Structure 1
Amino acid sequence: MKPFNIKIGYGANQVTLTIFPIDEYQYKVIYYGAILGAVKYDIDCWESIPSEELEADDLPLYQHDVNSGRIYLILNEATVDEIGNEIEDLLTGGEDL
């Protein structure tokens, strides 16, 4: 599967993320050309994959720069759920995985 983009709401902002499929139910989340983290679908819910379990490949891990003007994005439970829901909607046309 090829990488694709999703948009999520984050506070009052909308953020575009690139999603790189790892396998059928695991996805790397890319933000400004670096790996923000990864999510996986496991038994009817979305979870974050710990960064120590990720292979960075050619991309660096994302490090927020306070002077960049970018939104400080954190993969908390709500963000992971929203990313997962967007992935699901895009891949299944709105039907559950």
Structure 2
Amino acid sequence: MKSYAEWCKHYDYDPADTQSEKEYEWYIENHNTFSRLINSEPLPERHYWIKGEGDKGYWKPGGYGYTDDIEQAGIFAPLDLITLNLNGCTLYDVKQSASLRSR
């Protein structure tokens, strides 16, 4: 893990800027989170919701129909995606862990 000075130099941040300090804290927090995950167990496989082209909504489980309700939407693993025709569709990542914080 980089020291604050190394991190600022590497990412071209001003060490005197308070925003730089906040970004560095975020870096440390996420570094520690990922280190725990990597050292404890395999990372969870990513899963996706698929939204159809235009206003069709999300694909239902198995790809049979559409729904506007995310609670009824199907969840698809990467291997599922290989067999599906995804032309014009959008993939949305299903969050696997609440412990990973986004900025």
Q: TM range, normalised to the smaller chain?
A: under 0.3
| Structure with max Cα Rg | 2
TM-score by length of 1: 0.24
TM-score by length of 2: 0.23
More strand by share: 1
